[in-house]
Amino acid sequence: MTLAAITLDRACAEAIDLARAAAVRRAGVFEVGEHRGTIADDTRVATHYFACDHPAYPGWQWAVTVARASRARVVTVNEVTMLPSDGALLAAPWVPWSERVAAGDITPGALMPSPSDDVRLEPGYTGGESAKDSDPAEWSQIRAVIAELGLGRERVLSPVGRDLAAVRWHEGSGGPDNAMTQQAPAPCETCGYFVALSGSLGDIFGVCANEYSPSDGSVITRDHGCGGHSDVAEPRRGVDLTQPVWDTISVDEALFD
């Protein structure tokens, strides 16, 4: 079944001056330009398009919809608006805040809620990594007590969360692929300032505790490195002795003449 084409009403099509006057009243400083055409929207309903000559709105156009009641001779204005056409300058597509936020965007006072289905987290009663170190029966009892008393964290890091963090840290400035590591005398895992993390992340990562290192207080890989390694020996220099006040070494030849 095909719909019949809508016939452009003659009276509506000829109401160009009426449509222009309505656009001018609405436009204010936004100039109304030349007439660009007319489209039939419905029976006895049509929209006239006019160019917008304002320099801030290139490619935009005024759209004025007019209508004529059944058996009426008078055409009236139904709506006046401005719409984009080909080549119009448009705002960037709206992106939800949860998708716009990037790493490090949390500032003092800002709140970033974690979604309930965040794959980086799992319920706290699972115990996370610590659960695998306990006897199943014993851990089941502990979990029941925690749930009953409301103790412990509500959610803990999931395996997915640990993997994502590991990739991010390994590829960051604390990883092995940077100029600092390439010029270091030895890796961080042999440094006295290296503090290993607990759990599975500790197999790869730790925290630097050297206040003079640029990585102080930051997560670093075991194969990271810097010039502040604890085994770097302090260079020693010889001491320049001053001339003796009383010469007891040389021999005065005049005493034996």
> What are the pLDDT digits (tens) for 55-101?
888 899 999 999 999 888 899 999 999 999 888 888 888 888 778 88
The residue ranges of every structural domain in the chain are 10-84, 121-157, 160-221
Q: Are 19 and 36 in contact (CB under 8 A)?
A: no
CATH topology of domain 10-84: Nuclear Transport Factor 2; Chain: A, (3.10.450)
Q: Is the pLDDT of residue 155 over 60?
A: yes
- 44: Cβ–Cβ under 8 A, 6 or more apart, which residues? 9, 11, 12, 67, 68, 69, 70
> Tens of pLDDT along 192-225?
999 999 889 999 999 999 999 999 999 999 999 9
Give CA–CA dist 223/205, Å, rounded.
Answer: 9
The pLDDT-based confidence of 1 (bands split at 50, 70, 90) is very low
End-to-end CA distance of the chain: 142
pLDDT given for residue 144 in this prediction: 65
Pair of tokens at residue 154:
């509500």
* Cα gap 158→253, rounded to integer Å: 90
Q: What is the mean pLDDT of residues 232-242?
A: 73
For residue 2, the model assigns a pLDDT of 46
Q: How confident is the model at residue 45 (pLDDT cuts 50, 70, 90)?
A: very high
- Gap between the Cα atoms of 214 and 227, Å rounded: 10
Say if residue 3's pLDDT is above 70: no
* 110 has a pLDDT exceeding 70: yes
Cα 121 from Cα 115, distance rounded (Å): 10
Nearest to 40 by CA among 16, 75, 67, 1: 67
Nearest to 12 by CA among 83, 79, 81, 76: 76
Q: Are 205 and 222 in contact (CB under 8 A)?
A: yes
In this predicted structure, the answer to whether residue 140 has a pLDDT above a threshold of 50 is yes
What phi and psi values does residue 29 have, to the nearest 5 degrees? -80, -10
Question: By C-alpha distance, which of 68, 18, 17, 21 is closest to 46?
Answer: 68
Amino acid at 56: A
DSSP string, 57-124: STTEEEEEEEEE-TT---EEEEEEEEEE-TT---PPPP--HHHH--TT---TT---PPPTT-TTEEEG
Q: pLDDT digit string (tens) for 177-192?
A: 999 999 999 999 999 9
pLDDT at 138: 66
Residues in the chain: 257
With tokens 């659960």, the residue in question is 131
Measure Cα distances from 226 to 62, 140, 176, 235, 239 in Å: 64, 45, 10, 18, 30
Is the pLDDT confidence value at 143 over 70? no
Residue 152 is predicted with a pLDDT of 62
**Per the structure block, which two tokens stand in for 19?**
């449509």
Query: What local confidence, expressed as pLDDT, does residue 196 receive?
Result: 95
